[in-house]
Amino acid sequence: MMLPASPGERIRALRELFGFTQNQLSGMTGLGQSWLSDVETQSRDATDAELEIIAKATGTPLSFFHVESGSIPLDSLRFRKLAGASKTMTRRINRWFGESYRVSDGLIAEGKYPMVDLPFLTQESVTDDEINELADQTREALRLAPDAPIPHLTRALERAGIAVVPIVPPQIDGDEAPVGGGHFGASYWGGLGASGLIGFFPGIHGDRQRFTIAHEVGHMVLHAYRPRAADPEAEANKFATALLVPRSRAVEVLSDATTLTDYARIKATWGVSIQALIMRASALELINETRKRSLFVQLSAKGWRKEEPVQVGNESPLLLWTLLSRRFGPKPYRSAADPLAIPPAVLRSFVPTPHENSGRKQPGGSVYKFGSSPN
């Protein structure tokens, strides 16, 4: 039996979604900061009239304050982030992700979209061989060729009922939304029979975006039932390269004799960064530590650590937009806000129109494109 939503908790949820302090929300609404504090700590109740004031000031449907928050266990939501990522941004993205998952899970269920169960791991430890095997099993579950490049990882996941969304926490005052803040991606999968959600930060190189998404799939497979793994990030990194470049093919194309020019050609075929390919070769012991260090020194000398050659295009999600527009029409944000209990600005942030999605800024500067071979 579900408990009724707490308006105070939902007000806090709204603040965290938009990054408002209590003082900022007080200034927008005319409600006192002490009143907001008391309501959020459930020391007093909010009337419908007071909730309507907040709803009007923030462009939020009243239904938002009467729905349960997205329930994602904190130890199950995985972030791929830098060590210096701010706690404030992490908290904000956590809230944003919970609300996004609540809505995406509802859209997938309402649309009766088929979901594919991923393989999973339950034992405490995992070997590199087991990670490679699980990556192969994931390809099979996603109905991907066992030994070929994945031309569109996002679309493969969406066909399996795993939603992929850009993470762009919104602002409602016209300011540019903060992007990233040291984060690269986030994911959640509730396990067998549950829907999954992967979030990535747009504006990064396509090969990094694909790696981030594959990394988050690794978290789903390796950590849905092992939330306290000793080194989940390292495991997910190994899984990502194993998913993108299966061992059976890696041993054919990577060796101690592979030059950086060769790595660029391989990147153009597989859509995986040169640096990730070097790490893949090292993990499979196809190159020794001395050769790995030498290759990274060469990368630095060429300036390729920050800007590699070979352009890999960014992938654009489509599943949630398809489900949303099918239910609410071609201009769905305002009409969907009340039924889905989500501010239109938040909904649009993780379900952009296909035109907006394809138009997000991408870094440039590469010579070749994924899927073609360099001259």
Q: What is the pLDDT of residues 6-39, one digit of tens each?
A: 899 999 999 999 989 999 999 999 999 999 999 9
Residue 190 is encoded by which pair of tokens?
């509730």
Nearest to 210 by CA among 49, 10, 370: 370
Predicted pLDDT at 33 = 97
Rounded CA gap, 323 and 115, in Å?
Answer: 14
**pLDDT beyond 50 at 180:** no
In this structure, which amino acid lies at residue 43?
A: S
Rounded Cα distance between 130 and 121, Å, is 9
**pLDDT for the residue 72:** 65
Q: How confident is the model at residue 304 (pLDDT cuts 50, 70, 90)?
A: very high
Residue whose tokens read 């308006």: 7
**What pLDDT shows up at residue 68?**
85
Q: At residue 73, does pLDDT exceed 60?
A: no
Structure tokens given for 62: 């009243």
pLDDT digits (tens, 9 = 90+) for 198-249: 999 887 899 999 999 999 999 999 999 998 898 999 999 999 999 999 999 9
Q: How confident is the model at residue 71 (pLDDT cuts 50, 70, 90)?
A: low
H or E stretch including 237? Answer: helix 232-244
Owner of token pair 């992007």: 179
Over residues 170-177, mean pLDDT: 48
Are 165 and 317 in contact, with CB atoms under 8 Å apart? yes
Q: Averaged over 116-124, what is the pLDDT?
A: 93
d(CA 15, CA 92) in angstroms, rounded, equals: 9
Residue 91, token pair as written in the block? 């908290």
Q: Whole-model pTM?
A: 0.88
CA distances, 26 to each of 37, 72, 87 (Å):
10, 28, 23
Q: Is the pLDDT of residue 43 over 60?
A: yes
Question: 123 pLDDT band (50/70/90 cuts)?
Answer: very high
270 SS3 class: helix
pLDDT for res 169: 77
Of the candidates 220, 65, 200, 76, the one whose C-alpha atom is nearest the C-alpha of residue 142 is: 220
Angstrom distance (rounded) from CA 32 to CA 55: 16
Residue 286: enclosing H or E segment and its boundaries?
none
311: left (phi over 0), alpha (psi -120 to 50) or beta: beta
Angle of CA points 171, 174, 178, to nearest 5°: 45
More confident residue, 179 or 76: 76
Beta bridge partners of 82: none
pLDDT band, residue 159 (cuts 50/70/90): very high
Q: 54: which 2 tokens? A: 């907040």
Concatenated DSSP letters for 190-222? Answer: -STT--EEEEE-SSS-HHHHHHHHHHHHHHHHH
Residues 49-54: what's their mean pLDDT?
Answer: 97
279-291 tens-digit pLDDT: 999 999 999 999 9
Give the pLDDT confidence of 317-375 residue by residue, as tens digits.
999 999 999 999 999 999 999 999 999 999 999 999 997 765 444 443 333 344 443 33
What residue type is assigned to position 16 of the chain?
E
Mean pLDDT across the chain: 87
> Residue 197: beta bridge partners?
163, 188
Measured at the CA of 45, the angle between CA 41 and CA 49, to 5 degrees, comes to: 130
Q: For residue 167, what pLDDT is reported?
A: 87
Q: Which residues, other chains included, contact 24 with Cβ-Cβ below 8 Å and sequence gap of 6+?
A: none
pLDDT of residue 4: 58
